[in-house]
């Protein structure tokens, strides 16, 4: 065994675990996700489980018992009224709202497979995912049903169930919200296909339960940890949209790993978590929806965090103890006077993921809120969490932390050989949270899963204590005169300037150096390109300093706030293509 192999075998990060992180995860006692969901409902029955908080202050809420009963009814409707078989794929397409946990938990309780669909998808994107997943049932928010026109007949979808944001709002408020959305702002189009409203589906399920004496536990009692629970679509490590097959065991393992890492700051039944990230994304799905549900937390669902002022009522009206988000969300909050003057007084900790957390954002967050903003790392293919910064130790800015319990990692060179601590290498992962593969894509699976290891495509370095730092995506690396340049490092440097609100860095073709560094900057104060370069020259090698700087009013982002470097690169190449 080489010395580098030996380092990883010794697991240097193990000494960084707190006592709670050494214990067996609580989720290991369950054979499947419905068993965990029912156990939480039994323990926290009358406590508030979910509240939808809109920008105008109108909201609705459900207790754990209400979510449990409604999701049971939906499971019965799926199995008995629609006659779907166990393992049938059911697509859910909606933003954060009370209908989501009812539908998602009902799908799992029916022994079906949940397929999360981005509600912002275009009709062609929806069609492609419906066909690829083989989904037979669609639960969709009413605001996007017009996209179904003319497309549904080309997909396997046979049943459509619609819902609305105001479902479970107080009876007096619900029709007002619906009227405003339907007739005033015209956000709700006429549905062009035959569909049933979710409330009617639930009533049908309740009638069937009473008439026939159905126990929905019979649907899921025999589900095992290897059974498929979720098809979560991702661009993944090879760029083609595909469904990561996540089993009940994968998700249960990751829920337990998340719980172990946060246990020091979590009191069962007493937490209040702000969910601004969409729960159809795997980060919020596993962390906010499932892990905090196991802990009996009150989950504040925000349908849309944009503009950032949409979070003001949620943060000011509820005793928020945890916030999850991405760098852009935390940065945006820090630029709001209402947040910096009156930061959430009950806050314990915040979790950043999805994209690199800038050191300047983490430092400002701690200074203003008095609480840690810690970075974790994961990807869809690992359910998603792979590493996390322990909350029981001093924060290490710029680090994604240590592997969560029961997780092995290695950093390898292009030949697959491990590299020594301090040397950059591709991060590969092995653990119970790693997917079985990509849905019906054996060739793509073989590229990503090799000899039991998940190849992430991310370049990282590890220090002597086992703490990891992501250098960058392998595909985003810039080659300047033969030198490797990583956009994250430059973005982190530029973001420390007070006059910079956001920044993204890409590589562009250059006749002299092969590629050149180009920075896209959103300002919040007065600053020039020369001032940015002078700042970079103080901290970076000359070949890393941006050769080109472009100021923008905004940067393209994904629904969860990741800056889309690939869109910036494509736009630049199109704009500068030879005529």
Domain final position from 443, 475, 507: 475
Dump strand ranges (E) for 293-443.
298-301, 322-325, 349-352, 373-378, 385-388, 402-403, 408-412, 425-430, 437-438
Domain final position from 475, 508, 523: 475
**185/171: higher pLDDT:** 171
**Domain span including residue 563:** 477-575
User: Can you give the pLDDT at residue 231?
Assistant: 98
Domain presence at residue 323: yes
- What CATH number does residue 467 fall under? 3.40.50.12780
Mind listing the pLDDT tens digit for each residue in 74-123? 999 999 999 999 999 999 999 999 999 999 999 999 999 999 998 988 88
Give the number of C-alpha atoms closer than 13 A to the C-alpha of residue 442, restricted to the C-beta side.
Answer: 0
Domain presence at residue 239: no
What does pLDDT average to over the chain?
92
- What CATH number does residue 521 fall under? 3.30.300.30
Residue located via tokens 């409707």: 77
- What CATH number does residue 185 fall under? 3.40.50.980
Percent of the chain with pLDDT over 70: 97
Domain presence at residue 533: yes
Domain final position from 444, 460, 475: 475
Q: Identify whether residues 219 and 279 lie together within a single domain.
A: no
Report in angstroms the alpha-carbon separations of 161 from 153, 154, 193, 199. Answer: 16, 18, 10, 9
User: Can you give the pLDDT at residue 559?
Assistant: 78
**31/514: higher pLDDT:** 31
User: Can you give the pLDDT at residue 237?
Assistant: 45
User: Can you give the pLDDT at residue 27?
Assistant: 84
Q: Identify the weakest region by mean pLDDT among 276-285, 310-319, 351-360, 454-463.
A: 351-360
Q: Identify whether residues 484 and 455 lie together within a single domain.
A: no
Does 284 have pLDDT greater than 90? yes
CB contact set of 86 (below 8 Å; sequence gap of 6+): 110, 111, 112, 219
Token representation of residue 235 = 């661009």
Q: Identify whether residues 213 and 272 lie together within a single domain.
A: no
Q: Identify whether residues 426 and 504 lie together within a single domain.
A: no
Q: Identify whether residues 279 and 360 lie together within a single domain.
A: yes
Domain presence at residue 47: no
Q: Identify whether residues 304 and 208 lie together within a single domain.
A: no
Q: Identify whether residues 501 and 471 lie together within a single domain.
A: no
Q: Identify the weakest region by mean pLDDT among 40-54, 133-147, 498-512.
A: 498-512
User: Can you give the pLDDT at residue 59?
Assistant: 87
User: Can you give the pLDDT at residue 461?
Assistant: 95
Task: Provide the pLDDT confidence category of residue 21 given band limits of 50, 70 and 90.
Answer: low
Q: Identify whether residues 255 and 203 lie together within a single domain.
A: no
**Averaged pLDDT, 174-185:** 78
pTM beyond 0.75 = yes
DSSP bridge pairs for 323? 274, 350
Domain presence at residue 14: yes
The distance from CA 503 to its chain's CA centroid, rounded to whole angstroms, is 21
Nearest Cα to Cα of residue 569 among 486, 515, 508:
508
Q: What is the dihedral of CA 563, 569, 570, 574, to 10 degrees?
A: 140
- Which backbone phi and psi does 352 adopt, to 5 degrees? -110, 140
Nearest Cα to Cα of residue 274 among 255, 250, 254, 302:
302
- Cα torsion angle, 329, 335, 338, 340, sign: positive
Mind listing the pLDDT tens digit for each residue in 423-456? 999 999 999 999 999 999 999 999 999 999 999 9
What is the total count of domains within the chain? 3
The answer to whether 232 touches 91, Cβ cutoff 8 Å, is no
Token representation of residue 573 = 């190449």
Q: 402-403 and 89-93 as β-strands: parallel, antiparallel, unpaired?
A: unpaired
The answer to whether 434 touches 407, Cβ cutoff 8 Å, is no
Token representation of residue 26 = 């609580």
Report in angstroms the alpha-carbon separations of 409 from 364, 405, 461. Answer: 31, 11, 11
The answer to whether 195 touches 173, Cβ cutoff 8 Å, is no
Task: Provide the pLDDT confidence category of residue 393 given band limits of 50, 70 and 90.
Answer: confident
Domain presence at residue 294: yes
Residue 117 burial class via C-beta count within 10 angstroms: exposed 0-12, middle 13-18, buried 19 and up: buried
User: Can you give the pLDDT at residue 579?
Assistant: 64
**Averaged pLDDT, 395-405:** 90
């Amino acid at each position: 065994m080489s010395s580098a192999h030996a380092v990883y075998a010794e697991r240097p990060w193990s000494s960084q675990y707190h006592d709670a992180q050494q214990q067996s995860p609580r989720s290991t006692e369950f054979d499947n996700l419905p068993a965990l969901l029912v156990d939480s409902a039994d323990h926290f029955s009358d406590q508030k489980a979910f509240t939808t908080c809109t920008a105008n202050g109108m909201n609705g809420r459900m207790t754990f018992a209400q979510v449990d009963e409604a999701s049971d009814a939906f499971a019965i409707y799926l199995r008995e009224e629609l006659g779907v078989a166990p393992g049938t794929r059911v697509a859910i397409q909606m933003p954060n709202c009370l209908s989501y946990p009812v539908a998602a938990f009902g799908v799992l309780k029916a022994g079906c497979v949940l397929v999360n669909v981005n509600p912002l998808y275009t009709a062609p994107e929806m069609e492609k995912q419906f066909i690829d997943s083989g989904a037979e049932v669609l639960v969709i928010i009413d605001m996007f049903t017009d996209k179904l026109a003319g497309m549904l007949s080309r997909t396997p979808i046979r049943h459509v169930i619609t819902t609305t944001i105001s479902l479970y709002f107080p009876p007096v408020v619900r029709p007002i919200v619906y009227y405003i959305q339907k007739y005033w702002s015209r956000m709700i189009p006429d549905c062009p296909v035959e569909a049933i409203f979710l409330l009617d589906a639930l009533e049908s399920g309740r009638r069937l339960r009473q008439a026939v004496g159905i126990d929905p536990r019979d649907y899921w009692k025999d589900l095992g940890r290897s059974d498929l629970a979720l098809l979560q679509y991702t661009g993944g490590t090879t760029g083609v949209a595909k469904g990561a097959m996540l089993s009940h065991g994968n998700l249960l393992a990751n829920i337990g790993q998340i719980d172990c890492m946060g246990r020091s700051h979590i009191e069962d039944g007493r937490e209040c978590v702000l969910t601004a990230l969409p729960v159809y994304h795997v980060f919020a799905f596993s962390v906010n929806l499932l892990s905090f549900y196991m802990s009996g937390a009150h989950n504040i669902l925000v349908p849309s965090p944009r503009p950032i002022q949409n979070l003001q009522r949620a943060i000011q009206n509820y005793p928020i103890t945890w916030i999850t988000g991405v760098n852009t969300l935390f940065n945006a909050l820090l630029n709001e006077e209402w947040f910096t003057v009156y930061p959430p007084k009950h806050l314990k900790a915040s979790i950043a993921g999805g994209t690199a957390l800038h050191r300047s954002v983490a430092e400002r967050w701690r200074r203003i809120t008095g609480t840690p903003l810690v970075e974790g790392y994961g990807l869809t293919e690992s359910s998603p969490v792979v590493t996390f910064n322990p909350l029981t130790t001093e924060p290490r800015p710029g680090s994604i932390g240590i592997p969560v319990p029961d997780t092995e990692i290695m950093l390898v060179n292009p030949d697959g050989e491990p590299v020594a601590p301090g040397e950059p290498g591709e991060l590969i992962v092995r653990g119970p949270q790693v997917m079985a593969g990509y849905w019906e894509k054996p060739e793509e699976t073989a590229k990503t899963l090799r000899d039991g290891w998940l190849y992430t495509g991310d370049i990282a370095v590890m220090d002597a204590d086992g703490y990891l730092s992501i250098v960058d995506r392998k595909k985003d690396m810039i080659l300047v005169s033969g030198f490797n340049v990583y956009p994250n490092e430059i973005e982190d440097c530029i973001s420390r300037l007070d006059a910079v609100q956001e920044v993204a860095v890409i590589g562009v073709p250059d006749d002299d150096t092969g590629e050149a560094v180009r920075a896209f900057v959103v300002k919040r104060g007065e600053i020039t390109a020369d001032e940015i370069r002078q700042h970079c020259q103080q901290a970076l090698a000359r070949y890393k300093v941006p050769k080109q700087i472009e100021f923008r009013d905004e940067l393209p982002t994904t629904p969860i706030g990741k800056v889309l470097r690939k869109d910036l690169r494509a736009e630049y190449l199109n704009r500068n293509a030879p005529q």
